[in-house]
Amino acid sequence: MSVQAVVLWTDALIFLLLAAGAGLVWTIRRKEHLRAPWAAVAQRPMAMAAALVLAVFVAIGLLDSLHYRERLPDSPADAPQYAVEVLSVFDALMGDLRTQKEKTYSAPLAMQLYAKEFVEHDGVTVRDYPRLVHGGAHLADAAARQPDIARRVAVGLAQGLAASLVAFAVLAVWRARRAGVAASAWLADWRAGRLGWPARTLAGMATLLAVLGAVLVQLADAYHVFGTDKVGQDVLYIGLKSIRTGLVIGTLTTLVTLPLAIGLGIAAGYFRGWVDDVIQYVYTVLNSIPGVLLIAAAVLIVQVYIESNPERFDTAAARADIRLLALCVIMGVTSWTGLARLLRGETLKLRTLDYVEAARAFGVTHTRILGRHIFPNVFHLVLIAIVLDFSGLVLAEAVLSYVGVGVDPTMYSWGNMINGARLELAREPVVWWQLGAAFAFMFTLVLAANLFADGVRDAFDPRMERRR
Amino acid sequence: MKTLLDVRGLVTAIGGARVVDGVSFQVAAGETYALLGESGCGKSMTALSLMRLLPDGGRIDAGTVELDGENLLALPERAMRTVRGGRMAMIFQEPMLALNPVIKVGEQIGEALALHRNLAGEAAHDTARALLDAVGVPDPARRLDAYPFELSGGLRQRMMIAMALAGQPRLLIADEPTTALDVTIQAQVLEVLRALRRERQMGMLLITHDLGVVARNADRVGVMYAGELLEEGTREAFFAAPQHPYSRMLFAALPRPGDGGRLATIPGQVPRLDAAFTGCRFAPRCPYAVARCRAESPGWQTFGAQRVRCHRAGELPAAEMRAPGERPAAALPAAPLLQVDGLKVHFPIRRGLLQRTVGHLRAVDDVSLVIEAGRTLALVGESGCGKTTVGKALLHLVEPSAGRIALAGETVTAARLDRLRRQAQMVFQDPFSSLNPRMRVVDILLEGMEALHVGEAAQRGAAAARLLQQVGLPDDAGERYPHAFSGGQRQRIAIARALAVSPQLVICDEPTSALDVSVQAQILNLLKDLQDELGIAYLFITHNLAVVEYLAHRVAVMYLGRIVESGPATEVLRGPRHPYTQALVAAVPRIDAAAAAATPQLAGDQPSPINPPTGCHFHPRCPQADARCRESYPDARQTNAAHWVRCHMVAGE
């Protein structure tokens, strides 16, 4: 079946960001003073374990950013027609998870629907919990559910462990060969933690992730691991799809923030005078308007624009995407002030230093002084701010979607999940799994991001240098 | 005399580095014991170990510290708190950092009084006033209500001393108490410390790198190197015949009056303390080292009133005194390179909502200078007199308000700054803030050439390599970042950067004041060599008169934005005519005993340039001032062809 690639706005920006990130890594590898703190980050077990978790999230997010539309099976070859639904590579990998829908709510790993219906039992119509269409459909009877789940968990455990063992063996042989030692010697070094990188922690973390992944795959094959939502969609699938939204918000917003914060912050600190006055005035005004109000107004304007120009957006995905992008931009425009203020202060300090004075004594131009003397010396602040802001932005998205001014309601996001769960919390028995799943995903991502940020901040903090 | 403080085998480690390694010494009541050494030798760490105020990660591994027979290291922290500030007090180097800027000094002194002497209210106020009296603060009752920022550096340091005295300590630890102060103020503060010690029979531990301060204040001297004590003795014996090669080299590195020859330098630098040592720690830098020095750590040997840790002590040749080098005969006056006429730098003072200019801070007020090609002019004065501003105004780093600057006969205007910048460059005081830590050394050197389009782009790399060689840096230095270099090496990089555009004039703004004595000697020698080799002229801005005599051909003395005396270096320094110059020369601590006699001291502080005194600016501090001085500013008066003074007294002769 042929497909048509779809590049949404955020997809393009994500891959642009990826390229920029790769470029940054390349630059950092070449500059000794930039490499040193990152090498210190790589020494920290906690930071590296967090980085591994983040990498899994990012991988899912990237796979979910490769979009396409399937060709309709009955469309003519010379004028192909494509489905309105935009899918991603991640959807393809997930297989049936996307399409296995139930009627409405069902609890995690359940066989029956949450709500009673009239069902026919041996020709008699009774009011009972109906069996699910997919969840546990292969079982003949409810008593077999528990042993089946246990069996699947055990198989998943075994598969995960086996996979990580094989991967570890390959790694050991490869590293040992590269280091020119016997594999047993490498293993002894690994066990004693003498490899110069937190190998034990990383191996443990990777095993944990592999086992978790294998168990989830085993269970998701026959059940709804996190239950289903109001329209019967698998919550695990929604949660995984929300990863991309969270990452987009966390990273693209930074992309908008950085030029504003760096440009204006450094300019204000370096040029002083009226430039400083104007920039300070702008960010003081911006700061005095409640951020949520600005965001709500901007999102509503974009909404109106989308609705009055339907011809510009050929799919629902494109509409939701443009709203997501608008949200990133407006959040970026409202959140650059903190970093700008920090950079202004640092620049005020730097511009009085003798090496800037020396450059002025040579008649070096302002742009060159900014580029060679000021920016490289505030760059560590920028890095720390990016990493620290990321988790804040992911959480902000959840709050904004909850309030109703966040991403498009049709878009998968943790905020929308929480918003959807809000009304159901009062039901008896309580519908907790949507909220629980959103919480678990967000908690993992934000915790990993924060632990990683901690490692980065410590590595860049000159006061910590002596204690390392 | 009764032993007050007894330190035995003190070992302090920070992380893996043994910053103090087996130090033992005693201080008697009423005695000043000076710990002498370069930076990084563990002097301050010794003091902090005594107070048990080590930084994070620091711990005392061995040894005892007994104050009046009580082992301080065995005391619980609770008891230690009453010892600190009570029986043992400390004065720090930087008075601005040691005083809380948002609390009135009276309250800060009162805090110490309440804690250690249980005084409060009226009694505390009276005691605090008495303390300020004792440390020589004029108008003490009013000063008690002042905030630290309202006080000058000298007054702040006196406040620190008053605070330290509040607990009536038996032992006073002074950690570089005058390093941040001007010579005139330094003399005042040291006098206060001497008098207090005499009156109160305190023991004093004086930590300093300045041999001159030791010569005037210490009873006994201990020389520290790389965490160890190398030599110890009474002041007389130590100054008469230092035994350890390190002590001797410290003496030899010091520029002295009447000395034109090359300064001796100590090669290398203080070793890192986290390495394991075998043998004598000074051996790698010692010209007398033999095989035994590298294999075996020397023990103490006693020579009369001195003891020393050196295998070769006693067998070394008698300390050779440098022959007072003959200055190169004053050649014919060279052509003037830089002429400055009536240079003024006024900073507007703005007040109020509309930022109206209500007055001017006259940082530089009508300064005229001439620097001849290939010669050195030293600009001397206390901090705040405007000498650095003159340097920056010459390069248009600070825009001059008035005046004419002519370089090689051509007037410099804001539109033709490129020519100025090719011919005049600057070397800054602090080599740690004058090099961008994110740039490789070679990029630092190339920056000026690229900005001013000096030479062909293809040949600039070779020029940079030649510069590195010229200032005595290794060939591979270019590829490294500044943090890989020590303070002295960084200053060499800064000099190379200035030389990169082949200037004819280099403005050196206190280039050695942040460096140790031995490194200072290296830099001074380098500057002199470069002058001989390349024929550069220097404007040497400094407050260190000893350096002036070593390097300068002419001297201009600045006071409150104006030059008060100018003339040939030897003439001005040996026969100063202006009372201010006389006081400056007298205030320099000298290591020779003859000069240690009582000298007239300059009272008070330099007034603010916002509101200078009427008449002669110097009259409030001048011992000879009369009515005429209070009324009119004196005109310049030539005493001979090359020497002029602005003083009514000189004019009246």
Total residues belonging to chain B: 653
Angle value at C-alpha A373, between A368 and A376, nearest 5 degrees: 110
For strands B58-67 and B70-71, give the pairing.
antiparallel
A272 interfacial to chain B (CB closer than 8 Å): no
Q: Which of A357, A362, A377 sits opposite B451 (nearest CB)?
A: A362
How buried is residue A390: exposed, middle or buried, by Cβ count under 10 Å (0-12/13-18/19+)? buried
| Neighbour count for residue B592 (Cβ, 10 Å) | 11
CB spacing of B395 vs A364 below 8 angstroms: no
> Looking at the partner chain, which of A361, A363, A466 has a beta carbon nearest the beta carbon of B426?
A361
**Cα–Cα dist B426/B471, whole Å:** 16
A361 Cβ under 8 Å from any chain B Cβ: yes
User: Is residue B69 one of the residues assigned to a domain?
Assistant: yes
Nearest to B433 among A354, A360, A361 (CB): A354
Q: What is the DSSP string of A307-376?
A: HH-GGG--SHHHHHHHHHHHHHHHHHHHHSHHHHHHHHHHHHHHHTSHHHHHHHHTT--HHHHIIIIIHH
A325-343: average pLDDT: 91
The predicted structure's pLDDT at residue A319:
87
pLDDT value of residue A196: 79
Is B443 part of a structural domain of the chain?
A: no
Secondary structure E strands in B420-569: 424-427, 505-509, 537-542, 554-559, 562-568
Give A467→chain B minimum CA distance, Å: 8
B403-430 pLDDT, tens digit per residue, is 888 888 888 877 778 888 888 999 998 8
Distance (Å, whole) CA B433 – CA A353: 6
> Got the DSSP string for A400-430?
HHHHT-SS-TTS--HHHHHHHHHGGGGSSS-
Question: Is the interface score ipTM higher than 0.85?
Answer: no
Range of the domain at B192: 3-87+169-308
- Partner residue facing B436 (CB), from A355, A360, A365: A355
3-class DSSP state of B251:
helix
Cβ distance of B15 and A466 shorter than 8 Å: yes
Cβ within 8 Å, pair B447-A32: no
Is the CB of B451 inside 8 Å of chain A's CB atoms?
yes
Instruction: Kindly report the number of other CB atoms within 10 A of residue A288's CB atom.
Output: 7
Q: Side by side, which strands form the sheet with A67-71? A: A3-6, A67-71, A82-88
Q: Which of B308, B323, B358 is the last residue of a domain?
A: B308
CB atoms A372 and B439 under 8 Å: yes
pLDDT tens-digit map of B21-73:
889 999 998 899 999 988 888 888 899 999 998 888 888 988 999 998 889 99
Interface of B with A in 207-236 (CB under 8 A): none
* Same structural domain, B280 and B362: no
Closest C-alpha among B185, B265, B260, B270 to residue B227:
B270
What are the chain A neighbours of B434 within 8 Å (beta carbons)?
353-355, 357-358
Average pLDDT on A223-234 reads 88
Give yes or no for a contact between A445 and A243, defined as CB atoms under 8 angstroms apart.
Answer: yes
**Distance (Å, whole) CA A69 – CA A79:** 15
Task: State what percent of residues in chain B have pLDDT above 70.
Answer: 95
Among the three residues B271, B288, B308, which one is the final residue of a domain in this structure? B308
Q: For residue B49, is it within any domain?
A: yes
B434 touches chain A (CB under 8 A): yes
Q: Please check the confidence at residue A55 and state whether its pLDDT lies above 90.
A: yes
Q: Evaluate if residue B1 carries a pLDDT over 70.
A: no
Residue in chain A lying closest to B480 (CA):
A32
User: Residue A218 has which token pair?
Assistant: 């085993």
B452 touches chain A (CB under 8 A): yes
A408 — phi, psi (to 5°)?
-60, 140
- Closest-CA residue of chain A to B437: A377
Asked whether the predicted pLDDT for residue B329 surpasses 80, the reply is no
For range A142-152, the mean pLDDT: 89
B211 and B266 housed in the same domain: yes
**Cα A199 versus chain centre, distance:** 25
Residue A251 has pLDDT above 70, yes or no: yes
Decide if B452 and A362 are in contact by the 8 Å CB cutoff.
Answer: yes
10 Å CB burial of residue B6 (0-12, 13-18, 19+) is middle
Alpha carbon distance A185, A187 (integer Å): 5
Distance, in Å, from the CA atom of A272 to the CA atom of A288, rounded to the nearest integer, reads 22
Q: Is A357–B57 a contact, with Cβ atoms under 8 angstroms apart?
A: no
**In whole angstroms, how far apart are CA A292 and each of A288, A372, A442, A453, B635?**
12, 37, 21, 26, 70
Q: Spell out the long-range contacts of A410-416 with Cβ–Cβ below 8 A and sequence spacing 24 or more.
A: A410/A316, A410/A320, A411/A245, A411/A320, A411/A323, A411/A324, A412/A238, A412/A241, A412/A242, A412/A244, A412/A245, A413/A242, A413/A245, A413/A246, A414/A239, A414/A242, A414/A245, A414/A246, A414/A438, A414/A441, A414/A442, A416/A242
pLDDT greater at residue A59 or residue A135: A59
Quick: pLDDT tens for B108-156.
Answer: 999 889 988 888 888 999 999 988 888 888 888 888 888 888 887 788 8
d(CA A119, CA A125): 5
pLDDT at B261: 67
Could you tell me where the beta strands, DSSP code E, fall in B218-278?
220-225, 228-234
Lowest mean pLDDT among B167-171, B498-502, B542-546: B542-546
Q: Note whether B514 and B532 are same-domain residues.
A: yes
**How far apart (Å, rounded) are the C-alpha atoms in residues B571 and A73?**
105
A236-446: in CATH 3.40.50.300: no
Number of structural domains (chain B) is: 3
The 10s digit of each residue's pLDDT in A149-168 is 999 999 999 999 999 999 99
Distance of CA B485 to the CA centre of its chain: 21
Q: Over 60: is that where the pLDDT of B319 sits?
A: no
Neighboring chain A residues of B429 at a CB cutoff of 8 Å: 354
Element spanning B299, H or E: none
| Alpha-carbon gap, residue B297 to B21, rounded angstroms | 13
Q: Is B541 on the interface with A (CB under 8 A)?
A: no
Q: Within an 8 Å CB–CB cutoff, is residue A77 touching chain B?
A: no
Q: CA dist A121 to A103, A114, A127, Å?
A: 19, 18, 10
Distant-in-sequence, close-in-space partners of A101: CB < 8 Å, separation ≥ 6: A133, A134, A228, A231, A232, A233, A234
| pLDDT higher than 60, residue B330 | no
Average pLDDT, chain B: 85
Does B446 fall in a domain?
A: no
B 49-68 → A contacts, CB under 8 A: 56-57
Higher-pLDDT residue of A290 and B323 is A290
Give me the pLDDT at residue A467, please: 42
* Domain co-membership, B256 together with B368: no
3-state secondary structure of A116: coil
- B270 and B402 housed in the same domain: no
Lowest-pLDDT choice from A28-37, A43-52, A170-179, B363-372:
A28-37
With an 8 Å Cβ cutoff, is B417 touching chain A?
Answer: yes
Q: Which residues pair with B174 in a beta bridge?
A: B91, B206
Kindly report the nearest CA distance between residue B645 and chain A, in angstroms: 32
Provide the residue type at B310 as one letter. C
Contacts of B497 in chain A (CB under 8 A): 358
**B50 shares its domain with B197:** yes
Residue B15 touches partner A, C-beta closer than 8 Å: yes
3-state secondary structure of B451: helix
Q: Does B426 touch chain A (CB under 8 A)?
A: yes
Please give the Cα distance from B285 to B230 (Å, whole number).
Answer: 14
Q: Rounded mean pLDDT of chain A?
A: 87
User: B207: exposed, middle or buried (C-beta count within 10 Å: 0-12, 13-18, 19+)?
Assistant: buried
Q: Does A358 touch chain B (CB under 8 A)?
A: yes
- Shared domain check, B383 and B271: no
Q: How far apart are CA B558 and CA B564, in angstroms?
A: 6
Tell me the pLDDT tens digit for each residue of A117-131.
Answer: 888 877 888 888 888
**Same domain membership, residue B608 and residue B647:** yes
> Is the predicted pLDDT of residue B332 greater than 80, yes or no?
no
| Phi/psi-derived region of residue B37, left when phi > 0, alpha when psi is between -120 and 50, beta in every other case | left
The CATH number assigned to the domain holding B613 equals: 3.40.50.300
User: CA dist A174 to A10, A178, A186, A187, Å?
Assistant: 38, 6, 10, 12
Nearest to B397 among A360, A466, A467 (CB): A360
**What pLDDT is recorded for position B475?**
82
A373: nearest Cα among B476, B451, B426, B469: B451
| Cα–Cα distance measured from residue B585 to residue B555, given in angstroms and rounded to the nearest whole number | 13
**Model pLDDT for residues B469-499, shown as the tens digit of each residue:** 988 888 888 888 888 888 888 999 999 999 9
Mutation target among A347, A355, A374, A383 for the B interface, most CBs of B within 10 A: A355
Q: Are B228 and B252 in contact (CB under 8 A)?
A: no
Same domain, B226 and B364: no
Whole-number percent of chain A with pLDDT over 90: 33
What is the mean predicted confidence (pLDDT) over A93-107? Answer: 85
d(CA A198, CA B316): 55
What are the CB-based long-range contacts (under 8 Å, 24+) for A363-370?
A: A363/B417, A363/B418, A363/B421, A363/B451, A363/B452, A364/B447, A364/B448, A364/B451, A365/B451, A366/A270, A366/A271, A368/B451, A369/A270, A370/A266, A370/A267, A370/A270
Task: Mark yes or no for CB contact A354/B15 under 8 Å.
Answer: no
CB distance from A465 to chain B under 8 Å? Answer: no
Q: How far is A271 from chain B (nearest CA, A)?
A: 15
Task: Say if A426 is an interface residue toward chain B (CB within 8 Å).
Answer: no
Which among A33, A363, A467 has CB closest to B417?
A363
> Would you call B435 an interface residue with chain A, using a CB distance cutoff of 8 Å?
yes
Contact A359 B426 (CB under 8 A): no
Q: Is-contact B307 B231, C-beta < 8 A?
A: yes
Residue B565 placed within a domain: yes
Measured between CB atoms, which of B56, B436, B451 is closest to A363? B451
- Judge whether B330 lies within some domain: no
Residues A323, A401 contacting (CB under 8 angstroms): no
Check CB contact under 8 Å for B426 and A358: yes
Taking the Cβ of residue B494 and every Cβ of chain A, the question of whether any pair is shorter than 8 Å is answered with: yes
Based on the fold, state whether residues B76 and B31 are members of the same structural domain. yes
pLDDT digits (tens, 9 = 90+) for B504-527: 999 999 888 878 888 888 899 899
Token readout for A58 is: 């990012």
Residue type present at position B259: D
Answer for the pair B378, B524: CB distance below 8 angstroms, yes or no: no
Q: Which helix (H) or strand (E) holds B483?
A: none
Looking at residue B596, its pLDDT comes to 47
Interface membership of A368 toward B (CB under 8 Å) = yes
Note whether residue B485 is domain-resident: no
B28-42, B378-392, B566-580, B601-615: the lowest-pLDDT one:
B601-615
The three-class DSSP label of residue B71 is strand
> Which range, of A264-273, B179-188, B240-249, B416-425, averages the lowest pLDDT?
B179-188
A33: nearest CA partner in chain B:
B438
Q: Single out the residue of A455, A456, A460, A459 nearest to residue A378, CA to CA.
A: A460
The alpha-carbon gap from B560 to the nearest alpha carbon of chain A, in Å, equals 23
Q: Does A467 touch chain B (CB under 8 A)?
A: yes
Establish if B377 belongs to a structural domain: yes
Q: Do B451 and A365 lie within an 8 Å CB cutoff?
A: yes
Go through B491-516 and write b for each residue having 16 or more CB atoms within 10 A of its CB, e for each that does not: bbbbbbbbbbbbbbbbbbbbbbebbb
For residues B517 and B253, the answer to whether their CB atoms sit within 8 Å is yes
What radius of gyration do chain A's Cα atoms show? Answer: 26
* DSSP 8-class letter at A141: S
Would you say residue B619 has pLDDT above 50?
yes
pLDDT of residue B636: 85
A376 close to B (CB below 8 A): yes
Cα distance between residue A26 and residue B653, in whole Å: 75
Nearest CB to A362: which of B392, B429, B447? B447
**Residues of chain B neighbouring A277 (CB-CB closer than 8 A):** none
Put simply, the chain A residues between 19 and 38 with a CB less than 8 A from any chain B CB are 32-33
pLDDT at A238: 92
pLDDT given for residue B331 in this prediction: 54
Claim to verify: residue B133 and residue B36 sit in the same structural domain: no
B395 has a chain A CB within 8 A of its CB: yes
- The answer on B613 and B562 residing in a single domain is yes
